[in-house]
Each structure stands twice: as C-alpha cells, then as structure tokens.
C-alpha cells in the first residue's frame, strides 16, 4: 500500500466541517457536468467495460503502473466504502483519464496515488478526485487520506496536468518528500485543489513548479495551507489564484527548521491569509502579483468522474 511516513510533518490548523461538492464559484462554471456515471458491473462485480472506459470497484487493492506503461480511461467506484491505491514504479509511465466516483470513506489514511519516477519523465493528466474523503483516522493530526504522495526516492520528473482534487483530509499533492531524498521534480499545471487539510500543493525541490492553477479554501472546508514550500527550493508559483478566504496561509515557506525560497510570479493571493516565512525562508513577489484572487477550475480540468474517465470535457 502507498503509505505516508508518520513524521513531524503535521499541521496545527483547525478542522471544520467540509464541503464535498463543488465550491461556490466552480459550481457555476461546471453546471453542465453534473451527470453521474452509470455503472455496469461484470459477473465478478469488480470491473466492467463501458464503451470508452473500464469501471473498477475499490476493494482495498493496489494497482501498480510500471515503466513505459500507460494506465488510462478508468472510473473507480468508491461507493464500496473500501480503499484503492495506485503506485507508480520505474520511469516514463503515464496515468491519464482517471475518475473517482464517490467519497473515500475507508479510513485507511493512505495515499490514493503513490508516485515516483526513477530518472525519466512521467505524466499524470486528466484526473478527477473531487469527491474527497471523510475524516477517517485524521483526528486532527493530519494523517487522513492523501490524494497524491510523492515517494522520497522520486528522482526524475513528473508533469501533473488538469487534476481536480477536493475535500481530502490530508494533503492534496504531498510532493515535498523528494526534497530530502531523490531530488526529483514535479510540475503542477492547470490543476485545481480545494478544501483539503494540511496543504493543497506541497513541493520542495529546485525545478518544481506550480503554474496556471487555483487553490480555494472557503468557510465550509478543511483549512489547509494554500501552497507549502519545503527545503531546499526554490519553488516557482506562476499565474496562480490562491483564494483562502482568510484561512491558514496562502503561501507557507519553510518547515522542520529548514528554510526555502519561493518565487511568486504574476499570481493573486489572499492578503488576509497572507504569506508565512519560517527559518530564514524568502517569498519573492515578482511581476504582476497582487491580492485579489478568484479561484477557478482551469479549462480542460475534469469536473466529474465520468468526464475524466471518458478523456475530456
């Protein structure tokens, strides 16, 4: 199973009740995408082919995506109440067109995706995790379900594009571990994260970037940091909308006694939530950066599980 390490990388921010649906702004933009997938299960009840995608029931299984493999066009049925983990190994793999239907209520406290590339370039694109997870074993410690966790051994590069993550009881993208390990990079582009606990986008390594993406925390969701930058950095954040509604920090730089650098470029962030700089960290404001954010789901990012599984919107 893709398990997160139990270290001092925890959060002390409060947890409120969550909004497992679309946020108040993205709802208007995605009103046309409200249809629920119609499941057709095979005799074994575990998977069935649709015209354009396969339905897989979550039953505490682990799926491994290996070097050079493409894993695509899957609709994961989370209404079973059980967990599923997808682990990548090797390099030059692709995960795309994957939708998760239903809230993860397994309480496993695992990572839905455990990702790593051992020296090449891999791709994650068009993934919907917008139905979130319940509190599970989170219990105020930050040990609930994570959407994506990067293995510390990650040494290559991963492009993450058009991913929608909402309502997870732990980090949306926990990508900081390679900062003290393999040193691999992650580029998050045209992605949306909302109402998650601990943090939404969390990176550490030089060359890791967040571009053309949005973070939203409103008064009904988990109050995790917008972007959490770990050592060694520098982390680039460009053309992003970080709308926190006064919760937590929009940008939090530094952790565990180690500072880092962030370049915030042509982005809008919530002034009330503000910027936190720890242990000698520095957040440099560049270009047309301001304090009037309006989070939105980027074009091409799926707004339902079936839309993702079908391969587009």
User: pLDDT confidence of 64, banded at 50, 70, 90?
Assistant: very high
More confident residue, 31 or 9: 9
Nearest to 279 by CA among 231, 211, 234, 239: 231
Mean pLDDT of 202-219: 96
CATH topology for 49-136+144-310 is Pectate Lyase C-like (2.160.20)
Q: How confident is the model over 73-91, as pLDDT tens digits?
A: 999 999 999 999 999 999 9
Nearest to 130 by CA among 196, 224, 217, 225: 196
Mean pLDDT of 282-303: 98
Mean pLDDT of 267-271: 98
Terminal Cα-to-Cα distance of the chain (whole angstroms): 31
Mean pLDDT of 212-233: 92
CA distance 186 to 88: 14
Q: How confident is the model over 144-197, as pLDDT tens digits?
A: 899 999 999 999 999 999 999 999 999 999 999 999 999 999 999 999 999 999
Would the CA dihedral through 118, 93, 71, 66 be positive or negative? negative
pLDDT at 221 (0 to 100):
65
Global confidence as pTM: 0.85
Read off φ and ψ for residue 81, nearest 5 degrees. 85, 5
Nearest to 4 by CA among 190, 149, 116, 121: 149
CA distance 28 to 146: 27
Nearest to 186 by CA among 169, 174, 198: 174
- List all residues 6 or more positions away from 92 whose beta carbon is below 8 Å from its beta carbon: 67, 68, 117, 120, 121, 122
Give the whole-number percent of the chain exceeding pLDDT 70. Answer: 80
Nearest to 261 by CA among 288, 284, 237: 284
């Amino acid at each position: 199973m893709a398990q997160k390490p139990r270290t001092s990388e925890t959060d002390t921010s409060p947890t409120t009740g969550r909004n497992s649906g679309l946020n108040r702004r993205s709802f208007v933009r995605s009103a046309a995408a409200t249809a629920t997938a119609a499941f057709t299960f095979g005799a074994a009840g575990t998977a069935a082919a649709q015209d354009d995608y396969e339905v897989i029931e979550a039953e505490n299984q682990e799926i491994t995506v290996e070097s050079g493999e493409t894993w695509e066009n899957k609709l994961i049925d989370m209404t079973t109440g059980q967990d599923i983990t997808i682990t990548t190994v090797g390099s030059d793999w692709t995960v795309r067109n994957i939708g998760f239907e239903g809230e993860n209520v397994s309480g496993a406290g695992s990572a839905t995706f455990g990702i790593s590339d051992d020296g090449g370039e891999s791709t994650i694109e068009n993934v919907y995790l917008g139905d979130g997870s319940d509190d599970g074993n989170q219990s105020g410690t930050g040990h609930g379900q994570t959407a994506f966790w990067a293995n510390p051994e990650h040494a290559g590069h991963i492009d993450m594009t058009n991913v929608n993550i909402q309502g997870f009881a732990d980090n949306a993208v926990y990508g900081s571990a390679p900062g003290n390990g393999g040193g691999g990079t992650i580029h998050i582009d045209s992605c949306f994260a909302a109402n998650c606990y601990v943090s939404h986008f969390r990176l550490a390594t030089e060359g890791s970037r967040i571009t053309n993406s949005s973070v939203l925390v409103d008064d009904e969701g988990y109050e995790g940091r917008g972007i959490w930058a770990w050592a060694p950095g520098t982390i680039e954040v460009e053309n992003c909308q970080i709308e926190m509604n006064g919760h937590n920090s929009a940008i939090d730089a530094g952790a565990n006694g180690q500072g880092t650098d962030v370049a915030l470029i042509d982005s809008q962030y919530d002034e009330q939530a503000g910027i936190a700089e720890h242990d000698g960290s520095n957040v440099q404001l560049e270009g047309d950066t301001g304090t009037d954010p309006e989070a939105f789901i980027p074009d091409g990012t799926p707004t339902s599980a079936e839309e993702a599984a079908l391969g587009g919107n």
